[in-house]
Chain A
Amino acid sequence: MARFTEDKIKQFLKEDGFPVNDFYVAKSINQVKEYVNNLDFPIVLKALVPLGKKGKAGGVLFANNLKEAIKNAENLFTMDIRNYPVKKILMEKKVDISKELYLSFTYDRIREAPILMVSSKGGINIEEIGDIYEYPIDTILGLNPFECRTAWIKTGVTGKLLTTLGELTSKFYDFFVKYDAYLLEINPLAITTDNELKIIGTLMGVDDAASFRQKKILNMDQIGTERYWKPLTERERKAIEVNEADPYRGTARYTEMPSGDIGFMCGGGGASLLLFDELLAAGGKPANYSEFGGNPTAEKVYGLCKVILSKPGVKGLFVAQNITNNTQVDLVAEGVVRAIEELGINPDNFPIIVREAGVNEERAKIIFDKYNIEYYSDEITLTEAAEKMVEKMKRFYKYGNTTE
């Protein structure tokens, strides 16, 4: 799931005629100085990270003159907001706000519908105030202006703006649908002192599954995704490359853990979760989470395995998955063995346990046996495989003999 920074979202909104201020994106102090000339003070400087609650994290600053602008920009460029370093700053004219509204669309997994959420108490404290009205949308009929007006009335909005607000909200829903977003948040949606509506803060995430019809936006440099909670590490980027090199032949995913010593090379969306739990329960420390499946090519398996083994501190390898329905485990064997060979790993002094059963396992066994890798089919369960891995790590590295 791709998450975008605010400049991208505002650009899309602008293209569709929504009320957005002109803005500039500065990547350096020199650019800040340059763009200041195009704006009237006071201005806003916003850290561009693909997250909400930027204001609260200190990522939104104001400036009344050039000196302040430079000082605040310098400040922002040294900041990390929830693991994301600030590399770009959005600059725009500060809006004179008389009231801040909140508006968002998400898909609710429990109600199985898109949900409109509105509040007349928008701004950075919306989460704490919580005074939000929720309205489930009928996806077949869409969201009509009268429904939007009704929702806003529930939050206490009255007066002349109600009509414009209803229409704008309905258009926001069309925008949300058009871009296959799973999240669109406008906070605040400002009522200016001139009694106009203006989009101030935005957040949007787009459904990766819709990439076939959202090429325009998904090809832009996306920074955040739902599969990672921090900016990608070098190895995570490499793993994505490996996966996307051949997008239609199986999947290979990799998420790094902060520590750990067992290279975790496990298959199956469910089995990989289970195996990670079982390793922890047995006292093991996985260095990463991974998941491969859907019958990947040997090339893809090799690429993933190499990424896993390249993380510093990895001192063993655990290759396991459920009995496969369609994944050819001989290709898994080929890929793993190629990575091990290429990295010059000797299974005699590097603990490896493999539990791979399913399609073409006879050939997988021959490949693993040839390289003297400890291999099991379904004669052991997934739990037993995890326990064997941890025992082997203990034997090789003498855990448990806590003399330190």
Chain B
Amino acid sequence: MAILLNKDTKIVIQGITGREASMVTRHTLCYGTPILAGVTPGKGGELVEGVLVYDSLQCALNDNPSINTSAIYVPPAFVYDAVLEAIYNKIKLIFIATENVPQKDAIKFLILARKNSVKIVGPNSVGIISPKYKMKIGAIGGDKVERCFVKGPVGVISRSGGMTAEISFMVKKAGFGISTAVSIGGDPFIGLKPLDLLKLFEEDIETKAVVMFSEPGTNFEEEVAQFLYEKKFTKPLICFIAGKFTENLPEDTVFGHAGAMISKGIGKPSSKINILRESGAEVANKFDDIIIILKRLLGN
């Protein structure tokens, strides 16, 4: 069944008339993923790549009551409002592409989402893809999706959007494919975290192993390690942790993504590597080792 996206996914894009959203709409339709409607206040009645634009999410839902997933492509100042619009309209999965969402706003809508049992992926995510169902949301894969994302038994979780593609490419190079790949977003505060996704991957019969790409900062890996330690994740987990060099530089400095910051000793790559190894995960030293480990664990 893959996770998050499958044959029952019905997508609307909030902010569809923007430059990036229109491009993503074109690529997504080309790949074969249907987009039922778009929303941009004041632009109701327009078409983007053949997709009808509505003035509000409620209008879009009146005509398309099956919509259950929203992709948010509005500027940072309007993300909070767009997320609330989606939550109020009972959307169950919200994907947020926008980068640079103020922390204050993110914390608030993440709490509201949790209270309403709504799943959020992002902010600052490049997308989610389930190749078997030809379902993708976001820019993930660009215009040549199959270069990196082919169907198969491996789940991918990545803090970095770009690395979601590169890891999936390594999986393909190893001779396998993807069940679902999720770019979780690089911001300090995000919706679904690696632990949440591992729980979903554990339940998914189509996923036989998971590859996870991590960066400095956060306690995501510590949460994952605890889950593994309690034997609640029973499939192979292959990890790679980037940014080991940042440990030798002063704390509280951001490298790359806004969320990549070691602070008060929390978030060090070396401690993430140790704790994951101790809990039974495979940790690749070199990025290339992912191929060797995958071949060893999944066979040929």
Contact = CB atoms under 8 A, between A and B. Distances in A.
User: Chain B: interface secondary structure?
Assistant: loop
Contacts of A255: 253, 255
A145 interface: no
Interface in B138-191: 139-143, 147-148, 158-166, 169-170, 173, 186, 188-189
B266 to A, nearest CB: 8
A229 B252 CA distance: 8
A23 interface: no
Interface in B254-298: 254-261, 263, 266, 285-288
Given A273-B246, A326-B139, A109 B188 contact: yes
B236 interface: no
Contacts of A212: 76-77
Interface string B92-133: 000000011111100110111000000000000011000000
A397 interface: no
Interface string A75-106: 00000000000000000000000000000000
B254 A325 contact: no
A42 interface: no
Given A1-B254, A109-B217, A358-B142, A323 B286 contact: no
B299 interface: no
A309 interface: no
Interface stretch (A159-167, A274-282, A333-341): A274-282
B160 A209 contact: no
A1 B159 CA distance: 20
Interface stretch (A190-198, A238-246, A262-270, A346-354): A262-270
Most buried by B among A208, A321, A324, A359: A324
Interface stretch (A32-40, A65-73, A147-155, A377-385): A377-385
A272 B256 contact: yes
Contacts of A113: 107, 111
Interface string A127-164: 00000000000011000000000000000000000000
B218 interface: yes
Interface string B41-78: 00000000000000000000000000000000000110
Interface stretch (B1-9, B201-209, B227-235, B237-245): B237-245
Given A229-B249, A269-B256, A207 B104 contact: yes
Interface stretch (A117-125, A287-295, A311-319): A287-295
A107 B103 contact: yes
A139 B260 contact: no
Nearest to B219: A110
Interface residues of B, number: 69
Nearest to A109: B188
Most chain B CB inside 10 Å of its own CB: which residue of A213, A322, A324, A358: A322
B287 A269 contact: no
A110 B267 CA distance: 11
A300 to B, nearest CB: 16
A72 B53 CA distance: 67
Contacts of A324: 142, 162, 165
A384 B255 contact: no
Contacts of B217: 109
Given A324-B142, A325-B139, A226 B102 contact: no
Contacts of A168: none
B286 A182 contact: no
B101 A289 contact: no
Q: Is the interface of A mostly helix, strand, loop or mixed?
A: mixed
B244 A289 contact: no
For B162, B163, B213, B263, the residue with the greatest tally of chain A CB atoms inside 10 Å of its CB is B162
B221 interface: no
Given A140-B112, A229-B250, A383 B188 contact: no
A321 B217 CA distance: 21
Contacts of A378: 147, 169
Contacts of B142: 324-326, 358-359
Interface of A: 1, 107, 109-110, 112-114, 139-140, 177, 180, 182, 207-210, 212-213, 226-229, 255, 267-274, 276-278, 280-281, 289, 291, 293-294, 321-326, 358-359, 378, 381-384
Interface of B: 20, 23, 76-77, 99-104, 107-108, 110-112, 126-127, 139-143, 147-148, 158-166, 169-170, 173, 186, 188-189, 213, 215-219, 240, 242-246, 249-250, 252-261, 263, 266, 285-288
